Amino acid sequence: MNKEISTIGVLTSGGDAPGMNAAIRAVVRTALAQGKKVMGIRKGYNGLISGEIFEMESKSVSDTIQKGGTILYTARCKEFLTPEGQQRGADMCKVFGIDGLVVIGGDGSFRGAEKLSNLGINTIGVPGTIDLDIGCTDYTIGFDTAVNTAMENIDRIRDTSTSHERCSIVEVMGRDAGYIALWCGIVNGAEEIIIPERPDMDENEIIRRVIENRKKGKKHNLIIIAEGVGGSIELAEKIERVTGIESRATILGHLQRGGSPTALDRMHASMMGAYAVDLLCEGKSNRVVAFKNGKYVDFDIDEGLTMEKHFSDFRYDISKLLETR
Ligand code: ADP
Ligand code: F6P
């Protein structure tokens, strides 16, 4: 039988992502509108275990929708990887009367959410990660802002790269995924895109194309490489050594995770946060919210995480055509 929820907890976990605050805001305000009590949990599962838990009101989330980061802070929690840590987390929920929980984070955080569901706490995951690497959803909160931030910064690198007639290698985030790299490669007009989904990087072929582009009169070369492939500094050194063309590597790093969320991130975050509360109010547990084929839907957490992520061959193939001149 579905159990009636009285108090909804909310936490952010894993790497932060722009738009997490909009998701927290949506959880808080839609839960209050349904007559629920809302508890904010600071620092992810760490704060759950240590009891950094406080009651949230509507005004707790005022003036937050435009802010980057997460007002609840986030963390990675080793203790929560153990059955004892998970039990302590479930016990803490009981101490604070939390019978429904929204976990905003990535796939690791959802594995934790699954454990809490198994321990009797109705738990729902909301996908928040700049990496866009969750199988069941076409969108994860933070991706659009991260890509726009990377794009703007790569445009700047391109300016100086052209002035100096250099080859620039830019490494963008994506622990195991090349979505940010693919998008930046296309929207920044890069000459090469190197991503883990297409592990066919041939350094000699890349160097051959750098030389060929110079012969055609190109003033710079822009190579985007995903963090999951890595090796940007070594690649820059090798290109310079072999071609004699000055080369520089830039690792964009954590700047991609900050900043005010775009409209798209605020919108998806608001809808997904509200959807998660609806699921809890319907008595559901162990679900992950997703945006699939233009609709908000939900999946069993394990099913959602084991679904294969569709990688767009169409975009990749077009990127290859656009690289050539
Ligand atoms: P993300 O959620 O962004 O993928 P992580 O993979 O670092 O980030 O996971 C965030 C936190 O979720 C971890 O620090 C840990 O506390 C919890 N977690 C990750 N995997 C599991 C698991 N298999 N079981 C329980 N908790 C997990
Ligand atoms: O998962 C998001 C992400 O930003 C990855 O792209 C990156 O590999 C990782 O988090 C970095 O995590 P940390 O905050 O521990 O440096």
Q: Where are the alpha helices (DSSP H) in 101-252?
A: 107-118, 143-163, 179-187, 203-215, 232-243
Tell whether ligand 2 has an atom less than 6 A from the beta carbon of residue 130: yes
Judged by its nearest atom, the ligand closest to the C-alpha of residue 84 is 1
Buried b (16+ CB within 10 A) or exposed e, 184-217: bbbebebbbbbbbbbeebeeeebbebbeebbeee
- Which residue's alpha carbon is at the smallest distance from atom 26 of ligand 1? 112
CATH 3.40.50.450 in the chain: give the residue spans.
7-142+261-306
Tell whether ligand 2 has an atom less than 6 A from the beta carbon of residue 257: yes
The class (CATH top level) of 7-142+261-306 is alpha beta
Mean pLDDT of the region 18-43: 98
Mean pLDDT of the region 279-298: 98
- Which residue's alpha carbon is at the smallest distance from atom 7 of ligand 1? 14
Mean pLDDT of the region 280-287: 98
Burial class of residue 87 (count of CB atoms within 10 Å of its CB; 0-12, 13-18, 19+): middle
pLDDT at 312: 81
CATH 3.40.50.460 in the chain: give the residue spans.
146-258
Q: Choosing from 131, 144, 265, 298, which is the catalytic residue?
A: 131
pLDDT, one tens digit per residue, over 88-126 is 999 999 999 999 999 999 999 999 999 999 999 999 999
CA 182 to ligand 1 centroid distance, Å = 26
pLDDT, one tens digit per residue, over 68-91 is 999 999 999 999 999 999 999 999
Tell whether ligand 1 has an atom less than 6 A from the beta carbon of residue 47: no
Q: What's the CA dihedral at 122, 30, 305, 129 to 10 degrees?
A: -130
pLDDT at 1: 46
pLDDT at 2: 62
Both tokens of 120, joined, read 């009797």
Q: Are strands 221-226 and 192-194 parallel, antiparallel or unpaired?
A: parallel
CA 128 to ligand 2 centroid distance, Å = 12
Distance from C-alpha of 251 to C-alpha of 247, rounded to nearest angstrom: 14
CA 70 to ligand 2 centroid distance, Å = 15
Judged by its nearest atom, the ligand closest to the C-alpha of residue 230 is 2
pLDDT, one tens digit per residue, over 203-257 is 999 999 999 999 998 888 999 999 999 999 999 999 999 999 999 999 999 999 9
Buried b (16+ CB within 10 A) or exposed e, 23-44: bbbbbbbbbbeeebbbbbbbbb
Active site residue 131: yes
Q: What's the CA dihedral at 65, 258, 42, 123 to 10 degrees?
A: 70
Give percent above pLDDT 70 in the chain: 99
Confidence band (pLDDT; 50, 70, 90) for 325? low
CA 16 to ligand 2 centroid distance, Å = 8
Q: Indicate the DSSP class of residue 193.
A: E
Given a cut of 50, whether residue 194 has pLDDT beyond it is yes
Mean pLDDT of the region 141-147: 98
Given a cut of 50, whether residue 259 has pLDDT beyond it is yes
Confidence band (pLDDT; 50, 70, 90) for 163? very high
pLDDT at 310: 80
Taking the chain, what is the end-to-end CA distance rounded to the nearest angstrom?
Answer: 63
Q: Which ligand 2 atom is at minimum distance from the Cα of 106? A: 1
Tell me which fold the domain 146-258 belongs to. Answer: Rossmann fold (3.40.50)
